[in-house]
């Protein structure tokens, strides 16, 4: 009979292999189809994360942004996946690493590691399932507050805008909620592509603005804590979790 330890090891090995495969497949098709920049062919690297309840369409937003693909029968994400997409803004070439994980707690990787270094966040709900909107306040905003810097850029995304007949969250309500909480709101459909590109461009632009407007260190700051590394021109160090995925 197999020991408990042996069974657990097999299970983890399976999860690791599964997520490595997906990581690579997403990332290989990540940059635009005509140009594959060399590892250093960019000015800034942003980490963006997708969060929201299970089934709201996070993985399909990611696959739409990265590869212009939609999967009607996609399964719940297990662990973490990511893709990269490069965009030019204000003469800067910005490489964006977009991370995706499961909405369900039991399938998620370690939460703090997922958020670490994130500069922008797609906070996604499904306009046809009201509970996914309610969980934004009940759960997701709290989680962001707990695990990220307060200057993280948050884009509230009402996905599945194609399901007009099933709408359960009025646009005005979500818009007003976003304004009250200092968020930007956009409605998307990963299925028919509506606003997906615009959502991506909006978050990158706002993240860039937040990054360039961050306060400079004071020239004469008085007594100082122990020195820390000066910010690098690339705000987020490159360390894809697998050497195959750049």
Ligand X SMILES: Nc1nc2c(ncn2[C@@H]2O[C@H](COP(=O)(O)OP(=O)(O)OP(=O)(O)O)[C@@H](O)[C@H]2O)c(=O)[nH]1
Name the residues that contact ligand X, by CB under 6 A. 54-60, 71-72, 74, 76-77, 102-104, 159-160, 162-163, 189-191
Q: Measured from the CB of residue 59, what is the shortest distance to ligand X in angstroms?
A: 3
Residue range at the interface with Mg ion (CB under 5 A); choices 52-60, 131-139, 198-206, 236-244: 52-60
Q: How far is CA 109 from CA 45, 105, 113, 114, in A?
A: 22, 9, 8, 7
Please count the residues of this chain forming the interface with Mg ion, following the rule CB under 5 A: 3
Q: Measured from the CB of residue 208, what is the shortest distance to ligand X in angstroms?
A: 26
Comparing CB distances to ligand X, the nearer of 60 and 84 is 60
Could you tell me if 239 and 23 are in contact, meaning their C-beta atoms sit under 8 angstroms apart? no
Pairing of strands 44-51, 120-126: parallel
Partner whose binding site includes residue 162, from ligand X, Mg ion, none (CB under 5 to 8 Å by kind) = ligand X
Gyration radius (Cα) of the chain, Å: 19
Q: Measured from the CB of residue 203, what is the shortest distance to ligand X in angstroms?
A: 17
Triad 142, 143, 145: Cα angle to 5°: 65
Burial status of residue 8 (CB atoms within 10 A of its CB: 0-12, 13-18, 19 or more): exposed
Q: Measured from the CB of residue 64, what is the shortest distance to ligand X in angstroms?
A: 8
Partner whose binding site includes residue 189, from Mg ion, ligand X, none (CB under 5 to 8 Å by kind) = ligand X
Q: Measured from the CB of residue 118, what is the shortest distance to ligand X in angstroms?
A: 17
Rounded Cα gap, residues 152 and 172, in angstroms:
24
Q: Measured from the CB of residue 1, what is the shortest distance to ligand X in angstroms?
A: 34
Comparing CB distances to ligand X, the nearer of 159 and 202 is 159
Of these, 22, 27, 59, 161, which contacts Mg ion (CB under 5 A)?
Answer: 59
22 near Mg ion, judged by CB under 5 A: no
Partner whose binding site includes residue 56, from Mg ion, ligand X, none (CB under 5 to 8 Å by kind) = ligand X
Comparing CB distances to ligand X, the nearer of 191 and 210 is 191
Sheet strands side by side (includes 153-159): 80-89, 92-101, 44-51, 120-126, 153-159, 184-187
Could you tell me if 12 and 6 are in contact, meaning their C-beta atoms sit under 8 angstroms apart? no
Rounded Cα gap, residues 127 and 150, in angstroms:
26
Helix axes 196-212, 58-67, angle to 10 degrees: 90
77 near Mg ion, judged by CB under 5 A: yes
Partner whose binding site includes residue 163, from ligand X, Mg ion, none (CB under 5 to 8 Å by kind) = ligand X
Residue nearest to ligand X (CB): 57
Burial status of residue 161 (CB atoms within 10 A of its CB: 0-12, 13-18, 19 or more): buried
């Amino acid at each position: 009979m197999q020991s408990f330890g042996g069974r657990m090891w097999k299970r983890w090995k399976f999860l690791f292999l599964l997520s490595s495969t997906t990581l690579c497949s997403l990332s290989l098709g990540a940059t635009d189809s005509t140009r594959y920049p060399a590892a250093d062919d960019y000015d800034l690297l942003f980490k963006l994360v997708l969060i929201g309840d299970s089934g709201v369409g996070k993985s399909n937003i990611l696959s739409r942004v990265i590869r212009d693909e939609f999967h009607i029968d996609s399964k719940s994400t297990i662990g973490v996946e990511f893709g990269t997409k490069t965009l030019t803004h204000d003469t800067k070439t910005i490489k964006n690493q977009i991370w995706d994980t499961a909405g369900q707690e039991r399938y998620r990787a370690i939460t703090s590691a997922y958020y670490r270094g994130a500069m922008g966040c797609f906070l996604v709900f499904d306009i046809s399932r009201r509970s996914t909107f309610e969980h934004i306040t009940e759960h997701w905003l709290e989680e962001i507050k707990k695990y990220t810097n307060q200057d993280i850029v948050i884009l509230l995304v009402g996905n599945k805008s194609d399901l007009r007949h099933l709408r359960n969250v009025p646009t005005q309500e979500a818009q007003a909620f976003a304004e009250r909480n200092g968020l930007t709101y956009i409605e998307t459909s990963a299925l028919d592509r509506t606003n997906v590109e615009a959502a991506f461009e909006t978050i990158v632009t706002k993240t860039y603005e937040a990054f360039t407007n961050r306060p400079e260190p004071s020239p004469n700051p008085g007594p100082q804590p122990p020195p820390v590394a000066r910010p690098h021109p690339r705000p987020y160090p490159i360390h894809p979790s697998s050497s195959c995925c750049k």
